[in-house]
Amino acid sequence: MYYRDTWAEIDLDRIQHNVSRIKQHSGFEHLYAVVKANAYGHGDVEVARAALEAGADMLSVAFLDEALHLRRAIKDVPILVMGAIRPSDLAVAAEMDIDVTAHDLQWIEAALCYEGKPVNLHLKVDTGMHRIGMTDAESVRQACELIDSHSQLNRVGLFTHFATADAQTRAGYDAQMQQLERLTAEVDLSTFRYVHLSNSAALLRFGVQSGANTGRLGISMYGLPPSHDFELPFELEQAFSLHSRITQVKTLEAGSAVSYGGTFVADEPVRIGVIPIGYADGWLRYHQGRSVEIHGKRYPIVGRICMDQCMIQIDDSVQVGDQVDLLNDNLRVEHAARDLKTISYEIVCSISDRVPRVYKRGGVVVGERNERFRPDLTGDV
Ligand SMILES: *Cc1c(COP(=O)(O)O)cnc(C)c1O
């Protein structure tokens, strides 16, 4: 239930199409659906369920809080926290069956003090991203030895992350693969149940690496290309769209200015439509000057975007109550990203939880979530 005329639609069929197509294309035995950041703004539980139905068999997130939120709704599926958790939170993770990341020796030494229900660890090796992870072969060897010496710590996974898998050339990817070989020279990869290297870009481009059996699928599951620097092997289906409705229509005389700062001045009489979406919804001020779509026709956003509303220059065909599309199959997320000099990830992650999410299957609404005001899910998605 929500009481405003702005909403995001998430097409779960499209998410499922993308997951099964990419899984088949990549050839991996296992697949993590990456649902961090509330599934890139799409809704963590709904997307996770859809992805699991479509062939993903595990879930991964960035933080323990995200994992716990998912675990309340989804049992019996491995959930991995890819970021670093505090060693003092191992009991919380173990209690809820959350797998965690062991990213350096100091962390592992602290984890050796953990006594409690056994917890699954994935070793993170840094092959060139230079974020978290172990950077030398001796640390990786010692990490394995230390973990194996402690019966409460299960060594189940090993992973790394590519910094440039979406770049024009594969040189950076190849260099990281070589570094992985060096870093794991002293360990037997077959002693890990899951070895996972690939993000979306690598899943789309590079196939199964020797020793690996799992990938981590993020952005492309949502139907968004990781970058414009390589050609997709097949089309992805954008699952996210953003909509509003005209609140008021007014005609302004020539010379009238619109919104804060009066940055738009009408040079002739103009018709203006107001819509209830603004930068507090993640519809950032940078969108000023870009277009929206009403009945399939484009109209520009004029004047500054306010916190809760913005204005559109319309024609006589537009009336109060008409639907306004801000993102759809024509107004694509990747185009908004290009216009704002950013990436698709940032566009969808920015849409705040003040905007209700409506879920569709087979073209009909199957549920909705209004996280900010009514955190319970309604419907059967
Ligand atoms: C976010 C993330 C992913 C997913 O990356 P995409 O480019 O969205 O596919 C995979 N692995 C790690 C460690 C991540 O942080």
The model's pLDDT over 32-68, given as tens digits with 9 standing for 90+, comes to 999 999 999 999 999 999 999 999 999 999 999 999 9
Tokens of 172: 């950076």
Ligand 1 atom with minimal separation from the 216 CA: 10
Instruction: Provide the pLDDT for residue 288.
Output: 97
| Any atom of ligand 1 within 6 Å of the Cβ of 287 | no
Q: Give the C-alpha separation, 354 to 373, whole Å.
A: 8
- Give the mean pLDDT of the chain: 97
Residue 1 labeled ligand binder? no
User: In the chain, where does the domain assigned CATH 2.40.37.10 lie?
Assistant: 240-350
pLDDT in tens, 239-268: 999 999 999 999 999 999 999 999 999 999
Instruction: Provide the pLDDT for residue 381.
Output: 65
Q: Mutate which of 15, 31, 34 to test ligand 1's pocket (most atoms within 8 Å of Cβ)?
A: 34
Fold of the CATH domain 240-350: Lyase, Ornithine Decarboxylase; Chain A, domain 1 (2.40.37)
Checking if the pLDDT of 28 tops 90, the result is: yes
Checking if the pLDDT of 347 tops 70, the result is: yes
Q: Which ranges of 6-136 does DSSP label H, i.e. alpha helix?
A: 12-26, 36-40, 44-53, 64-73, 90-95, 105-111
Checking if the pLDDT of 377 tops 90, the result is: no
Instruction: Provide the pLDDT for residue 293.
Output: 98
Instruction: Provide the pLDDT for residue 1.
Output: 83
pLDDT in tens, 35-44: 999 999 999 9
Checking if the pLDDT of 379 tops 90, the result is: no
Q: Could you give the percent of the chain with pLDDT greater than 70?
A: 98
The top-level CATH class assigned to 12-222 is: alpha beta
Cα torsion 279, 285, 286, 289: sign:
positive
Instruction: Provide the pLDDT for residue 375.
Output: 76
Q: Give the C-alpha separation, 198 to 110, whole Å.
A: 29
Which whole-number Å values give the CA distances from 367 to 9, 207, 354, 357, 370, in the listed order?
A: 10, 35, 17, 9, 10
Ligand 1 atom with minimal separation from the 203 CA: 9
Whole-number Å distance, alpha carbon 349 to ligand 1 midpoint, is 13
Beta-bridge mates of residue 370: 374
Mean pLDDT along residues 77-90 = 98
Instruction: Provide the pLDDT for residue 380.
Output: 61
Q: Give the C-alpha separation, 192 to 211, whole Å.
A: 10
Residue 307 labeled ligand binder? yes
Beta-bridge mates of residue 250: 272
Instruction: Provide the pLDDT for residue 211.
Output: 96
| Any atom of ligand 1 within 6 Å of the Cβ of 82 | yes
Mean pLDDT along residues 82-101 = 98
Mean pLDDT along residues 214-238 = 97
pLDDT in tens, 237-247: 999 999 999 99
pTM of the model: 0.97
Tokens 């006589």, residue located: 316
| Any atom of ligand 1 within 6 Å of the Cβ of 218 | yes
| Any atom of ligand 1 within 6 Å of the Cβ of 226 | yes
CB 336 within 8 A of CB 287: yes
